[in-house]
Amino acid sequence: MALRPHLLCLALPLTLLAVSPAFADEGEWVPPVRHAETLKECGECHMAFQPALLPAGSWRAIMGNLSDHFGEDASLPAATAASIEHYLVAGAGRGDPALLRITEQRWWRHEHDFSPSRFTRPEVRSKINCAACHKGADQGFYEDD
């Protein structure tokens, strides 16, 4: 029996919520984002960062203050924000929950211990453009350093 497409549309995001192991690793690979709302809404302004790149406390703080998202208004309807927060927290990694920026986490600073001028190159522009250097960043690959 074929499943009706609209049932799959509903079931799939729920299934995908369950497949992200909650570990942040030593900087090589993290499970890629497989949640449509996260990809769309976060990805509108920057790469949709993988859940494992921040601890749960950081994700909760970020999602609780979208109207001032590092100086930008990133407000979302409450239901959308809740869905994204649930996904991010479910796949959260390790780190200091008092630090909200991935680039402030100790592991990140350790991995990027080089001249700040690298980040101001035109093709990089900002520390949050992971993919400028890590070509597979949007798929969770960061081992190419």
What residues make contact with another protein under the rule CB under 8 A? 5-6, 8-9, 12-13, 15-16, 19, 34, 36, 44-47, 72-77, 125-126, 128-129
For 51, the token pair is 């859940």
CB closer to another protein, 41 vs 85: 41
Minimum CB distance to another protein, residue 54 (Å): 17
CB closer to another protein, 46 vs 97: 46
Minimum CB distance to another protein, residue 101 (Å): 13
Minimum CB distance to another protein, residue 111 (Å): 20
Can you say whether the dihedral through the CA atoms of 102, 105, 108, 109 is positive or negative? positive
The b-or-e profile of 91-127 (16+ CB within 10 A means b, else e) is bbbebeeebbebeebebbeeeeeeeeeebeeeebeeb
Minimum CB distance to another protein, residue 42 (Å): 10
**Residues 118, 144: Cα–Cα separation, whole Å:** 16
CB closer to another protein, 10 vs 98: 10
CB closer to another protein, 35 vs 56: 35
What backbone torsions phi and psi does residue 138 show, to the nearest 5 degrees? -70, -15
